[in-house]
Structure 1
Amino acid sequence: MAHETDFLDLYGKLRLEPGCSLDEFKQAYRRNVALWHPDRRRGTRADAIAAARLQRLTAQYGAAMDFYRRHGRLPGAPVVAQAPVAETVSAEPAAMPRIDPVASVASGAEAPARARRVAPRWWFGAVLLGIGAVVWSTWPDGPESDPGEDPGSPVATRADAVPTGTLALGMSPDEVLAIEGEPTRRGTDRWEYGPSWVRFEGDTVVDWHSSPLRALRVGSSRPRP
C-alpha cells in the first residue's frame, strides 16, 4: 500500500516552515535532490538508501506542486483572505434640474419641495451602483487553469479532459483511463495518480486508494466490501 504523503515530513526534510515562499520551496528541493542523487554516492553502500530517499522526496514534492496548482498556495500555508472592497459613491454633484424662469416665478414655493424629492432619488441610485460594484468585484472567477497548459487547447482543464463517472471494482484499464485519465506512473498491476493508486488483477480493478491530496473519482477512499 502506498504511503500517504506527509507534508510535515517534507518540510522537515527541506528545513522549511509551511509559510515559506514558492521560490524557497523549489530551491530547497533542488538542494536535497543534489544531495541524495545516486551519482554523488557511486560506489558506496548507501546507494540503495539514497535512491529510496530521493524517490520518496520526489513523490512528496510532486504532490505538493499539484496542491499548489489546484489551490494557489503550498500545503499548510495560511489562506490569504481577500481584502474587502470599499463601497464608493460618486462625489459628483447632482445635476441641477432645469428651471423655467417664468414657471419659477409662478411657483417659487414649489421649488424647494421638488429639490427635496430629487435628492433622495439620486442618493438611492448611487447606493445601488455602489452595491453593484461590490458584487461585481467579489464575484468568483472561473475554474483555475493549469499554468503549464495551453488555454486554447481542448484539454486546457481537467474537467474538460476527464468525463464524469466513478471507479468501480471489475472495471477494465480502458474504463479507468476514460474516468481518471493517464496515470502519473503506470506499473504492470498498479497505476499511480500522485499519492493515489488503482490496482488490477487480470486487467480488472480489484482495489484502490484515494488520497485527499489527489482524490480519485470514487465514492469512498477504499472499495467497500
Structure 2
Amino acid sequence: MADETDFLDLYTRLRLEPGCSLPEFKQAYRRHVAQWHPDRRADGHADALAARRLQRLTRQYGAAMEFHRRHGRLPGGAPLPGVAVATPEPAAAIEDGTPATTVIADTESLPRRPLGAWWWLAIGAIGVAVLAWSLMPAASEPDAEDNTEAATVRTTGVPAANSAFAVSGPLSLGMSEDEVIALEGEPTQRADGRWEYEPSWVRFDNHAVSDWYSSPLRGLHSESPRPRH
C-alpha cells in the first residue's frame, strides 16, 4: 500500500510536477509504459527488472486515477471548489484496464464541518454570563446587628497615614479621630459621625470612638469585630 500511494515517486518517474493536468499525466504514463514494456528488452534480467518497474508504476497510476475519481483532482493538485467526493466502489475499474485500488483518504481535501448553531449559542451565553458577573456590584456587608457569626479580625493592613500619632495598641473606645487615622489610615467615606473603611466602619460621638464594626473582608486593627462595652 505504501508503494501504491507514493505519489511523489510516481511524479518523479513520469518527470512531472504535482498539479499537472490530467491529459499530461496520462500521456506521460503511456510514454513510460512504452519505454519499460518487457517486449522492448533484450535479455532476461532486463525483462524482469522492467516488469517489476512497470507493475509498480501501474499500481501507482491506478491509485492516482482512483484519487482523481474520488476527489476530482490528481494527488497534490489544488482542491476544486464544488466538486463532490465519489463513493468508492469495490468492483470499479479505471481507465486503461487497471484494476481499482483502495486509496488512503486525503483528509486535507475533505471540507471541514462548521460549528453547529447550538455551539455558537453556548459560547454566546457563556460570554454574557461572564460580562454580567464582572458588572455585578459586590454584595454589601449586612448590619452589625444582623451578623451573628464570629468575624476574623485582621491585625495587619493599611499603614498609618498620620505619623504624628504613634498608636501601638488596637482600636478602642474613646480614641480620637486623629488616633484612628494614625491606626487605620484615611477612611474611604465620612458621613454623620461614621467613617467607612470599605465594608468596615467606625462611629464617633463628640469626635471620640463610640462603636465600630470590623468586617472579615477588610478588618480593622481591633481585637474583636465589635467593641466590648
TM-score (normalised: structure 1): 0.39
With a CA cutoff of 8 Å and minimum separation of 6, indicate the structure with the bigger relative contact order.
1
Larger radius of gyration: 2
Looking at secondary structure, tell me which structure has more helix per residue. 1
TM-score (normalised: structure 2): 0.38
